[in-house]
Structure 1
């Protein structure tokens, strides 16, 4: 599984990158045919005082891409919410495959 993490409008610290990598390693337990995972961490509303943190995750599996996006006040929370949604999608995809 090839993992690529991209940050937009900021530089991520190692603690955040470690958190993302640690969670993504669990993904292979749900579905073993994952080709690659792209994670995009973005800052939104740069012109305003309140900066929303957006986490987008795209998972490539054979013949399909899965995509989730969540937004909250912290990157960890955004990523965790997106990851939970992604796990549900992966599980559904696996169930469809074996029906």
Structure 2
């Protein structure tokens, strides 16, 4: 699975990028039909302390799976987003596959 990580507005530390990549890579163990993972980490322009946002889109046959979460740290936002996506992947895997 190809993984793309974007950090618009700031330069992500290598540890953060590795953390995100490792978490998204785990989805390849759930299904070999997941083609690509796109991660966008950004900071919400608000006065809230929980302003770190993680968006993840998984490219799968049919409609892509998407989740976004906001937290106090990027690591927490990544973990929360992956947890939400895991539920979507499990539901998607139960759908019957269509042959062309």
Using structure 2 for the length normalisation, give the TM-score: 0.89
Gaps of 5+ in 1: none
Conservation of the 8 A alpha-carbon contact between 1:45 and 1:51: no
Post-superposition offset of 1:21 = 1.1
Partners of 2:48 and 2:10 lie apart in 1 by 16
Post-superposition offset of 1:97 = 2.6
Within a 5 Å distance, the mapping from 1:1-99 to structure 2 comes to 1-45=1-45, 48=47, 50=49, 52-97=51-96
Post-superposition offset of 1:67 = 0.5
Partners of 1:74 and 1:97 lie apart in 2 by 37
CA-based RMSD: 1.6
Using structure 1 for the length normalisation, give the TM-score: 0.90
Partners of 1:13 and 1:54 lie apart in 2 by 16
More strand by share: 1
Figure out how many residues of one structure are paired with residues of the other and give that number: 97
Conservation of the 8 A alpha-carbon contact between 1:70 and 1:78: yes
Gaps of 5+ in 2: none
Give the match's secondary structure for 1:79: helix
Post-superposition offset of 1:32 = 1.0
Partners of 1:51 and 1:80 lie apart in 2 by 14
